[in-house]
Amino acid sequence: MPKKKRTSNDAGDSAAHRPELVVITGLSGSGKGSVLKSLEDLGFYSVDNLPVELIPKFAELTSQNPGIRSAALVVDIREGSGLQSLPKVMETIRRTVDARLLFLEADDDALVRRFSETRRPHPLGTDKTIIRSIQSERAQLAPIRSIAELIINTSKFTVHELREFIGERFRGSRDESNLMIYVTSFGFRNGIPTDSDLVFDVRFLPNPNYIPRFKNLTGINPGVARYIRSFPQTVEFMKRITELLVYLIPHYICEGKSYLTISIGCTGGQHRSVMIASEIRKNLADSGYQVKVTHRDMAKGRR
């Protein structure tokens, strides 16, 4: 059977083929495998732990294969010193593919907990503690993090939530309903949550801690909530803060933000911040947003 002649249109189609390539990297334990699996489920041609020196060849092969529209690969600290050449490699492959660098990270305490739960050693070895290995890896990856197009902190995600988030992000949907909002209450005495995008201080509100019957309760308790809500400054604050957030959130969406962490702090994180965070969650949910609330320090005040 004679071969089909290559037409000028065929040549143009081949030249125009620029597949999407997502290069996934980041801290060990941050969920890179889950993200790769999520992209694979979306139809991405996926490769785990590809040596950095082979990435240009991989990009070239995908650009020559019209059947591959999207591809994803993971490269991380297991690569050793070769990982430091990744920024240069990213410059090179962008000549042939639409490459994006996705960097995953998580807070130290979340990473320590994950290593403890899985009982797996850190890739940097067992000659030092997990926390020191995490800190060393974070420092080594800092230059790569600085060039990433998308940085995701996975501290608050379950595996299911992370995969759902990646699915929404890479399907190209930009609906407001796909912005994930986290409202966190905390106590300033324990430090501000490191992943905060917006921080509000509610220590100006009357403190139920000084009311004996409320001292060992929390802001979730209806009586405590009624007490805090009984003051006009509380009502005014809730009105103003809700209006501000409803104004701000669409602008964050336009900037490409896919999740937003709003932190509400009082002294101990037991009463005022808990009640206000719960109210903000309800108000934003009523406005049509996906909102989750967590109370980081609520239990600490009851120990």
Q: Report in angstroms the alpha-carbon separations of 220 from 33, 185, 207, 236, 269.
A: 37, 12, 14, 20, 12
Q: Which of 151, 169, 149 is nearest to 38 (CA)?
A: 169
Per the document, the length of the chain is 303
Which one of 3.30.420.140, 3.40.50.300, 3.30.1490.190, 1.10.10.60 gives the CATH number of domain 18-173? Answer: 3.40.50.300
Q: Are 19 and 61 in contact (CB under 8 A)?
A: no
Instruction: Indicate whether this model's pTM tops 0.85.
Output: no
Tens-digit pLDDT string for the chain (303 aa): 333 333 334 444 444 568 899 999 999 999 999 999 999 988 899 999 889 999 999 999 988 888 888 999 999 888 888 888 999 999 999 888 999 999 999 999 999 999 888 888 888 877 778 899 999 999 999 999 999 988 999 998 888 888 888 887 887 544 444 678 999 999 999 999 988 999 999 999 999 999 999 999 999 999 999 999 999 999 999 999 999 999 999 888 877 677 899 999 999 999 999 999 999 999 999 988 889 999 999 987 554
Written as one string, the DSSP assignment of 92-161 is HHTTTSEEEEEEEE--HHHHHHHHHHHTPPPTT-SSS-HHHHHHHHHHHHHHHHTT-SEEEE-TT--HHH
Domain ranges of the chain: 18-173, 177-297
Q: How many CA atoms lie within 13 A of 288 on its CB side?
A: 7
Q: What is the structure's pLDDT at 251?
A: 86
Residues 103/144, Cβ–Cβ less than 8 Å: yes
Q: Which residues, at least 6 apart from 12, have a Cβ–Cβ distance to it below 8 Å?
A: none
